[in-house]
Structure 1
Amino acid sequence: MNKTVDLNCDMGEAYGAYLIGDDAAMMEIISTANVACGFHAGDPVVMRNTILAAKGKGVSIGAHPSFMDLYGFGRRKIIGDKPEDLEAQLIYQIAAIDGMARALGWPISHMKTHGALGNMAAEDTEMAEICVRAVAAVNPELVVVALPYSQIMKAAEKAGLPVVCEVYADRTYTAKGMLTPRSQDGAVIKDPNQSVDQALAMVRDGYIPTTTGEKLPVDAGSICVHGDTPGAVETARNLRKAFENEGISIAPFAKV
């Protein structure tokens, strides 16, 4: 099969003395890293080290902003009184990673929302438009990484921003093409073999398998493995091997 797909991971999610995920091992496998911006995880030192590690491996990087939620790892819904306040927070985060990356000679290529923010922006039109405006304010050439069938994909396309369709190897999907809420059993796929089967269905066969049996058409440009999912490195390694066995090349969706 003559096909190329990006393999991405959410990274730089350590904070101070707290370590999350095996970033060093994951950098050997992936083609793109989404770097936490300090609001759900990460700090200036972690950001710098993650960017330098990516640069050393030729891994493309992007901003991974979230709600201001260190305590909840960005996975709690936080709805403020003013939409412009959230927009300011997102601009702040994207600009922070953008500035650090430029200083280190490895500019960012994209923006991907994290956690609850990403889930809300997938289904809520206003939230999606806020995220897209923040990206455009910092750099309208940044690619918006978005779920298929999502409001943020529609908002980015409407605004004329470049978009790449992302799917997940380690999360299950609802009949609407949205991620199964983490509060529900089976939302996170912990079996590496199941992750590989789902990934091949989406990338090779062009459909998303849902928890209710539907097969939703998809043209996946990037596939994600969460760095904090148990067995994440093994899953990513198995994915890469499975893709290569199918003749599917792994490469960043954006030029490094």
Structure 2
Amino acid sequence: MATIDLNSDLGENVPERIVSDDVAMLEIVTSANVSCGFHAGSPEGIRATLDAAVRGGVVIGAHPGYRDYENFGRTNVEIDSATLQAHVEYQLGALIGLASSVGGAVSYVKPHGALYNTIARDERQSADVVAAIKAIDPGLVLLGLAGGIVLDVASKAGLAVAAEAFADRAYLPDGQLVSRTQEGAVLHDPAAVAERMVRLASDGVIQAVDGTDVRIDAQSICVHGDSPGSTRMAAETKRMLQAAGITIAPFAGV
């Protein structure tokens, strides 16, 4: 029987920018990628999400990004290695401290947004992120895009890694994600999204935008918390995966 994790990006709300229903999503997913404050969220909001994750038995991951609050961390940033490593270390330290304050612990790291996409193809920034993780806690698992360079860099550096696929994003034939600047990059139909993820978990493939099948080896599926209708997509994906005999379980744990 196949097993796969279901995760979502959470802890990104502030009163003037509500992007997700964290409480509802935490009743669905097995892992929560919690903002570290640089791209979204506030200390009190992040703490509340961490507390809800602990009470719900959801595994916690750190979700660090570029220091780009205005653009939700989705703009490419030119940054030197020393600065990037320090920024990631700072974010990990903050989240680990907040998680501890509510009786939880951070088990993995999934970089956010533009940083996530950059390290899928950029070896230098991948090495910077990996160095930051190792400096803070080399026992943390690195979650990254299936086929991304960062997974190889992390593995060679001695980190445990896990690969991820996206339920609500369109794919290019080379396994990269379609840019959010392109029409059709974000998917919204719960049934269609769920069917794609059942095929991924069962057969290891996702259909790309040109109709070809892309082979993807993933241990976790992400439904973005800020996507319209995200909780419906996550719930339907979970329901259809389980109906297909696929076990939903976290890839990492304390």
TM over 0.5: same fold?
yes
- Residue aligning to 1:38: 37
Deviation at 1:193, TM superposition (A): 1.7
Corresponding residue to 1:195 among 193, 215, 240: 193
Q: TM-score under structure 1 normalisation?
A: 0.96
Q: List per-residue Cα deviations over 1:70-118 (Å, max 9, x = no partner).
A: 10000011112x2111110011001110111122221010000110111
Q: List per-residue Cα deviations over 1:223-253 (Å, max 9, x = no partner).
A: 0000010100000000010011011111111
Give the stretch that moved more between structures: 212-221 or 39-48.
Answer: 212-221
- Residue aligning to 1:78: 77
Deviation at 1:63, TM superposition (A): 0.5
Partners of 2:139 and 2:212 lie apart in 1 by: 35
Q: List per-residue Cα deviations over 1:198-235 (Å, max 9, x = no partner).
A: 21121111113211233222222100000010100000
Tell me how large the CA RMSD over aligned residues is: 1.1
SS of 1:157's equivalent in the other structure is helix
Deviation at 1:43, TM superposition (A): 1.5
Is the counterpart of residue 186 in structure 1 residue 184 in structure 2? yes
Partners of 1:135 and 1:73 lie apart in 2 by: 22
The ranges of structure 1 where at least 4 consecutive aligned residues each deviate by more than 4 angstroms after the TM superposition are none
Q: List per-residue Cα deviations over 1:47-79 (Å, max 9, x = no partner).
A: 110110001110000100000011000001111
SS of 2:198's equivalent in the other structure is helix
Give the stretch that moved more between structures: 216-225 or 157-166.
Answer: 216-225
Corresponding residue to 1:89 among 60, 64, 87: 87
Partners of 1:216 and 1:135 lie apart in 2 by: 30
Q: List per-residue Cα deviations over 1:7-66 (Å, max 9, x = no partner).
A: 000000012543221111111101000000111111210111011000111000010000
Partners of 1:57 and 1:120 lie apart in 2 by: 32
Partners of 2:16 and 2:71 lie apart in 1 by: 17
- Residue aligning to 1:138: 136
- Residue aligning to 1:226: 224
Give the letter for the 2:171 counterpart.
Y
Partners of 1:200 and 1:110 lie apart in 2 by: 24
- Percent identity, please: 42
Q: TM-score under structure 2 normalisation?
A: 0.97
Aligned length: 254
Corresponding residue to 2:162 among 151, 159, 164: 164
Partners of 1:107 and 1:214 lie apart in 2 by: 40
Contact 1:61 1:107 in 2 (8 A): yes
Partners of 1:175 and 1:151 lie apart in 2 by: 17
| Structural mapping, 1:91-130, within 5 Å | 91-130=89-128
Partners of 1:208 and 1:135 lie apart in 2 by: 30
Give the letter for the 1:28 counterpart.
E
Contact 1:16 1:43 in 2 (8 A): no
Is the counterpart of residue 21 in structure 1 residue 53 in structure 2? no
Partners of 1:119 and 1:89 lie apart in 2 by: 17
SS of 1:109's equivalent in the other structure is strand
